[in-house]
Amino acid sequence: MSETELVILAFAAAATAAITAVAGAGGGLILLVTLLQFVDPLVAIPAHAVIQFVSNSTRAVTLRNKVEVPLLRWYVVPLLPAIGVGFLIADSIPRDSGRALIGVFALLAVWWPAATAWIVPRARGGKRFALVGVLAGVSNPPIGAAGPLIAPAFKAATKDHVAFVATFAVAQVMNHLAKIVVFGIAGFAFREHAQMVLVGVVGVIVGTWVGTKLLHRAEPAMLDWLFKGAVTLGAVRLILSLM
């Protein structure tokens, strides 16, 4: 990447991390779209995984007292094998079609919760939440960012917005870590793109710090609308990828 592109990446990483820290979701997808303007998808997706691993780790540590662990116990069980399956079938899934389907699903989950209520456990920590881990794992390698697909389920299953942000951050840490492992086993040369990744990492650390400060000052109703707006923006971007 050129110096100009690295500067753009730094600002995009900071801005999207701040968005995610406040809204809970949406920023990672915007960052991935930014990376795709400069590098090939097979470079953007694993590099994005490392940057987002750091971004979500920072947020998870900051909000660790708000994490709802029972949800994560069932989420993580199928995650790594599901990502392995997703990696194997990545080349057989039309990327544009897959992105559009996730976009439609995300819009339904946010604006018509009854349509996707089946995915949310009736009680926190229910076994049904393992299905969320399967969906995240299988969709992530071919699509690159499964946040809009699974964020509504976490939002519906957590007690308040801050708990959602904290719990979803830990889930995304697991998600991106598993993706890093799978791409590493497949032979992706992370060191060759260390400069790009480092710039993104510094950006998301700064953005997460700023966004977390804003999170504690905003009204719950405003936070809910920010979440809906962020996921809607990401979902619409996915749908428009077909055009």
pLDDT for 129-141, tens place per residue?
788 888 888 877 7
pLDDT at 241: 64
Helix (H) or strand (E) holding 59: helix 41-62
Q: Which of 68, 88, 83, 102 has its CA nearest to residue 171?
A: 68
pLDDT for 64-113, tens place per residue?
898 988 888 888 888 878 877 877 776 666 656 656 666 676 677 678 76
pLDDT at 77: 84
CA distance 57 to 208: 10
pLDDT for 50-77, tens place per residue?
999 998 898 889 888 989 888 888 888 8
Instruction: Tell me: pLDDT of 17 over 80.
Output: yes
Percent of the chain with pLDDT over 70: 79
Q: Are 208 and 59 in contact (CB under 8 A)?
A: yes
pLDDT at 205: 92
pTM across the whole model: 0.76
CA distance 94 to 12: 27
Pure H helices in 63-217? 69-76, 79-89, 95-111, 130-143, 147-157, 161-185, 194-215
Q: Are 220 and 68 in contact (CB under 8 A)?
A: no
pLDDT at 9: 92
> How many Å separate Cα 119 from the centre of its chain?
18
pLDDT for 189-227, tens place per residue?
888 889 999 999 999 999 888 888 877 676 767 766 776
